[in-house]
Amino acid sequence: MSKTYCMKCQKLTGNKDIKYVMQDGRKRMKSNCSVCKNKKSMFVSTNKKNSKQSGKGIVDKFIENLPVELHLLGTYHKEPYQANDKSLTDVKPGKTLKAEFLGPGTKYDMRYARGDRGINNLDHAAMSHDLAYKSKDPATRNRADERLTDAANNFLKEPNLSFLDKVDFGIVKTAMKLIKRKV
C-alpha cells in the first residue's frame, strides 16, 4: 500500500514506519503520515485471493481441480531421454500417442515416478514446465510458460513433423499467451 487516507491532512498520503499487528484476529497496518507525521491505522485484507503472491488465477484454479488429465495427442519421436521410459517400449517412431505431460491436469509426481519422460521434445519440455508449476509464485510460472513457448518454437523447426505436431505447437503457443499472470 503506497498511500492511505490521513485524517489530519484529509487526503491520501504516503506511509512511514509501517508496522503490521494483529488486533481482534484481524491484521492492522499502523504507520505515520509522510506529510504531517500524524499516526494512521487501518485494517488490511488477509484474503489470499487478493494477494499477488498467491500465483493463483482462475485458469490455475480450474486446472488444479480437474478430475482427469487432459493430454494432447502427438507423434512419438525416439529421443535419448526416453531410454528408461517403460511406457514407450516397442513403440515405433511416427506412431500417434497420447502425450505424457502436454495438457492440463497432469499428475506430475505419479508420471515422473513411473518413468515417463515425454513422447517427443515438446512433451518433454512440458514435463519441465509441470515441474516448475509446483511453485505457486507467479513469476516462476511465467518463466516456465516462456520456456515452454521457446521449446515449442524450437520444436517447430524439427524435420518430419506431422500435422498433429504442428497443431500441438499452435495449442501450446496460444495457451501460454492466454495464461500470463500479473507479478
Do 36 and 126 reside in the same domain of the chain?
no
pLDDT above 90 for 46: no
Q: What are phi and psi of 176, to 5 degrees?
A: -65, -30
Do 40 and 83 reside in the same domain of the chain?
no
pLDDT score for 104? 86
Do 39 and 97 reside in the same domain of the chain?
no
Least confident interval from 43-47, 103-107, 144-148:
43-47
Do 41 and 57 reside in the same domain of the chain?
no
Residue 183 lies in a domain: no
Do 96 and 165 reside in the same domain of the chain?
yes
Strand partners, 48: none
Please tell me the total count of domains within the chain.
Answer: 2
pLDDT score for 48? 53
pTM of the model as a whole: 0.64
pLDDT above 70 for 52: no
Q: Give residue-wise pLDDT tens across range 69-93.
A: 889 898 888 888 888 887 887 888 8
Do 38 and 91 reside in the same domain of the chain?
no
Do 60 and 93 reside in the same domain of the chain?
yes
Q: Are strands 11-23 and 73-75 parallel, antiparallel or unpaired?
A: unpaired
Do 147 and 174 reside in the same domain of the chain?
yes
pLDDT score for 161? 87
User: Which structural domain, as residue segments, surrounds residue 36?
Assistant: 3-46
Do 97 and 41 reside in the same domain of the chain?
no
Which CATH number do you get for residue 41?
2.20.25
The CA-to-CA distance between both ends of the chain, in Å, stands at: 15
Do 9 and 94 reside in the same domain of the chain?
no
Task: Average the pLDDT over 44-52 and give the result.
Answer: 59
Q: What are phi and psi of 84, to 5 degrees?
A: -100, 10
Do 60 and 40 reside in the same domain of the chain?
no
Task: Average the pLDDT over 118-139 and give the result.
Answer: 89
Do 99 and 161 reside in the same domain of the chain?
yes
Indicate the average pLDDT of the chain: 84
pLDDT above 90 for 2: no
Q: Give residue-wise pLDDT tens across range 99-118.
A: 999 988 888 899 889 889 99
